Amino acid sequence: MKILRPTRAEINLENIKDNVGIIKKFVGRYVDILAVVKADAYGHGAVEVAKTLEKSAVKIFGVATIEEGIELRLAGIKKDILILGSTYPFSNFSEVIKYELTPTIASISGLESFNNFAKFKNKKLPFHLKIDTGMARLGISPKTFVSLIEKIKNLKNIYIDGIYSHLACAAENENFTEKQIREFEKLSREIPARFIHIAASASIIRYKSSHFNLVRPGLLIYGLLPSEFSDSVIQVQPALSLKTKIVYLKTVAKNTSISYCRTFITKRISKIATVPIGYADGFLRCNSNNAKVLVHGKKASVVGRVCMDMTMLDVTDIKNVIVGDEVVIIGSQGKEKISAENVAKRCNTINYEIVTSISKRVPRVYV
């Protein structure tokens, strides 16, 4: 469909490709990369990102759901795809096998069910075994790990291609993180596997001992840093900009209320611009009376409540503003910049939520 609305997310695929190269150089030649492209590649567009990285240093793609994996296969992605999330109900293993996806196994029932499906198809199929070392989400208990390994050895139609876990607070709690890494390292020695992995973006930066032979960058690929890092030894570049245009301008009198419920009242004669972006697009309501955007390279305030489809700006102090002028929500304009981290801080959240909240109705334009 032709793009008609002036609101769009611009994605720089070269930055994504370069970021992977930077990560690869940082972890070294003996550590492979699993590129996490779940949640539509953190809002950047999973298919286009995966196509860009298909011929890069990326060894495996990581998704959260079976549907996300199928989408990549239908788009022609050939590399291994690991489903990091649950595959329950286990009848879904038929689709996992059909599309040659690699499941995460985190229970005895899942293990037995996957083996039965593989046996029915007369195949010997790979999976990654997930161990819970402290997240209390998906993963088998370390206490049952050894007995489970013995059971796996007796199953003829499946095999462990990888063993992994997930760090609960790699950017914050050093003692707990190191405890998780030590426990995982000990357990991973119990059975051979092609891939051993526990490190996501924060631990890639902070804990070299967590790299093993595979790392799982997500946020870093898109040029974003975990929220606890104000700086990083890895110099990645953001790949996403969120932009729109002014579609309406009006001058209003002093004491005029703007948007729903009169939460903003003008204190002077004001020039108010309307832009076609709202919380249905992912510009969250927490930005109401609380955000800055860029117009003509200067910061303009969001005034009044963010609506579902529109937002109002005070452009009184910016000269020569006209309908059609570009407005930058995330990105750079002139000498000014607004990052996803800036938006996240205002909304008391994390940059992950900001970029993954950009909805499907915002077209992704690849530059």
So which residues are the catalytic ones? Answer: 38, 260
**What DSSP string runs through 245-313?**
E--EEEEE-TT-EESGGG-EE-SSSEEEEEES--GGGT--GGGTTT-EEEETTEEEEEES---SS-EEE
Secondary structure class of 92 (helix, strand, coil): helix
Q: What are the respective helix, strand and coil percentages of the chain, to the nearest 5?
A: 35, 25, 40
- Whole-number Å distance between alpha carbons of 14 and 16: 5
DSSP bridge pairs for 265: 257
- Whole-number Å distance between alpha carbons of 9 and 332: 13
User: Using CA of residue 277, residue 338, residue 237, residue 325, what is the dihedral sign?
Assistant: positive
Enclosing H/E stretch for 326: strand 326-333
- Whole-number Å distance between alpha carbons of 82 and 64: 8
Asked whether the beta carbons of 161 and 82 are under 8 A apart, the reply is no
Q: How many residues are listed for the chain in this entry?
A: 367
Secondary structure class of 108 (helix, strand, coil): helix
The residue assigned the tokens 């037995």 is 112
User: Using CA of residue 347, residue 350, residue 355, residue 361, what is the dihedral sign?
Assistant: negative
- Whole-number Å distance between alpha carbons of 105 and 148: 11
- Whole-number Å distance between alpha carbons of 240 and 340: 9
The residue assigned the tokens 């953001």 is 238
Long-range contacts of 169-177 (CB under 8 A, 24+ apart): 170/199, 170/200, 170/202, 170/203, 170/206, 170/207, 170/210, 170/226, 171/202, 171/206, 171/226, 171/227, 171/228, 171/229, 172/228, 176/134, 177/203, 177/206, 177/207, 177/210
